[in-house]
Structure 1
Amino acid sequence: MNNKINYEQRIVAFIDILGFKQMVIESEKDGNEEKIQSIDKALEFFKRLKSKTYKYNELIDVEEDAQKKGIENFRIHELLEINYFSDSIIISVKIEDEKINEIFSTFIVSIASFGNLLIKNGILIRGGIDVGNLVHKKGKIFGNALIKAYTLESTIATYPRIIISKNLLEKLNYPIESKKDRYPYHQYLERFEDGCIGFTQLTILQVMDSLDDKIYMNHFKGDKASTLINTKQTILNGLNENYDNPKVFNQYKWLMDSFNNLIITNDKTKYKKIERLVRYYDFFYK
């Protein structure tokens, strides 16, 4: 009998749903299960992504960089695995070294889309992503890559953001030296003030801002202005509901600053967002 453990090289994301314990308490107390149900609904996104018949993520299909490199190289439905328990979500994708940049692109877009679905319902996430040996099959998930991703999330990420490990970045075409070498994921990643590299649940709003209105509507189920306003309201609600809870309040304050730094071409909408958020912030700190 062969009991040998067969590790695979996989990119893995360990994602923590912030405030999950309180969501459960509230759902039991007042019967309001909206947020809990919204998490399950968002996870359906990944289940659809694993289906061969799923109309593939148009955020990748419309990317000029992806089209030049061949859209088929960005398909991950046969490589993707996902598990979740309590407040933790683990998503991994098997990699082939020669296509790691393509696979990572779709992986990032998928997590960014998932994060956006959650923030619409006032749910924040924090996570870490690494690459390495991993066993991820139904009922089994373990490996050094998972340990490192968890460590990133629990000790480094700190705020509602997804941090990419140095180990993974060294295997990617990052940073780019010329535009022709760019992959879709490049527009999602940023270097934060503390030196970490990653993205937030808000980054996709900046990426999507340049897309055709019809594609934008289809993905976000709303126009650009209403999507931005709804996201802004989520942050304002978080600030308002947690002004006596500094730990959570600071999470929303950090996200507010990230929101204000988004590059949005709709000047009128952007101006209104900044103005209202700054006034709100000043109200609490004067």
Structure 2
Amino acid sequence: MRETYDKKNPKMLNSAVCFIDILGFSSMIEESCKNCNGNQLLNKLYHSIKDNIEFIKSSTQHSGAMNIFSDNIVIGKPVYDDGESELGQIFLGFAAYQLSLTLEGFFVRGGVSIGDYYANEYLAYGPALLEAHNIECCSAKTPRIVLSQDAKNLVKYHLTYYSNPKHAPQVRDVFIDTDGEWFINYLEAAIVSRDEEGYSCAYDVMIRHRDIVMSKINLFNNDTKVLKKYEWVAQYHNYFCKLNFAKSIELQIKGVSNCGGFKFIA
């Protein structure tokens, strides 16, 4: 029998845990309230989370738990057997959620860890949560959801199941960044199917993504620290489009440095 987080007898279970928050959210609140637009930001955030949370909520209905506080979201799923299913659900769910928030102007970063964890509607607890939070604070740095070393090792193990690891679904779910960190490839969520119709839909999403990233670059053009974060998104965007829309050069964001440093995990 598979264990779940027991409300009557709380105990930690070996789990896959993902923690995310919205980049620059404190500054958004301060700026909006200063300009008397605090309620406007509140409503935009409320509806963005409410409308998009189903992407990850469904994966915790039968096992696992989800906790939301302000701009922070934590999802934990007990690891059964080899953990491939649980990690896959986190990759897919958070990729779709991250993409949806990004298209509305909310860029997120976070961490994925493997370890002891417990959660219910009242609390989230355990070293896996601390590690995921620490990754978000110290390793993510840019708008990306980064994997812990244990999570990376588990994905590497899952790749051995496939005669050709390059055909494993994880190869599309996760990219390796220029600094060696592994992160969830959230733009993959735009391609709902790899046929003509799927790519047509994804093309429109890439146009929207391109435009929102360019707007952020223009907005923070004089703030070097923040600008670097959105230049990273532009590089990632260009890399993804180069892989999937090589002939659509209009999708590329001009004026950013070489995007050749990203790699596949296999």
If the TM-score is normalised by the length of the shorter chain, which range does it land in?
A: 0.7 to 0.9
Q: Write the mapping of 1:1-286 to structure 2, written as runs, cut at 5 A.
A: 5-28=10-33, 29-31=35-37, 33=39, 35-44=41-50, 45-47=52-54, 50=57, 77-98=61-82, 100-172=83-155, 173-176=157-160, 178-179=163-164, 183-205=168-190, 207-208=191-192, 210-211=194-195, 213=197, 223-262=201-240, 263-269=242-248, 271-274=249-252, 277-279=253-255
Query: TM-score normalised to the size of structure 1?
Result: 0.75
CA 1:167–1:279 in 2, change beyond 3 Å: closer, same or farther? Answer: closer
Is the Cα contact below 8 Å between 1:16 and 1:127 reproduced in 2?
yes
Structure 1 distance, partners of 2:76, 2:46, is: 18
**Most deviating of 231-240 and 16-25:** 16-25
Q: Which amino acid aligns with 2:128?
A: A
Q: CA deviation at 1:25?
A: 2.7
Q: CA deviation at 1:151?
A: 1.1
Structure 1 distance, partners of 2:106, 2:126, is: 28
Secondary structure in 2 aligned to 1:78?
coil
CA 1:210–1:39 in 2, change beyond 3 Å: closer, same or farther? Answer: farther
Secondary structure in 1 aligned to 2:251?
helix
Structure 2 distance, partners of 1:165, 1:7, is: 19
Per-residue Cα deviation, 1:152-192 (whole angstroms, up to 9, x for no partner): 11111111111111112223434445238965333111111
Structure 1 distance, partners of 2:256, 2:56, is: 39
CA 1:94–1:280 in 2, change beyond 3 Å: closer, same or farther? Answer: closer
Structure 2 distance, partners of 1:225, 1:182, is: 23
Secondary structure in 1 aligned to 2:68?
strand
Structure 1 distance, partners of 2:256, 2:165, is: 42
CA 1:123–1:46 in 2, change beyond 3 Å: closer, same or farther? Answer: closer
Q: Which amino acid aligns with 1:261?
A: Y
Secondary structure in 1 aligned to 2:210?
helix
Per-residue Cα deviation, 1:61-95 (whole angstroms, up to 9, x for no partner): xxxxxxxxxxxxxx653113221223322111222
Percent of aligned pairs with the same residue?
21
- Number of equivalenced pairs: 246
Q: What's the C-alpha RMSD, in Å, of the aligned pairs?
A: 2.9
**Most deviating of 41-50 and 106-115:** 41-50
CA 1:143–1:163 in 2, change beyond 3 Å: closer, same or farther? Answer: same
Structure 2 distance, partners of 1:49, 1:34, is: 25
Query: TM-score normalised to the size of structure 2?
Result: 0.80
CA 1:191–1:79 in 2, change beyond 3 Å: closer, same or farther? Answer: same
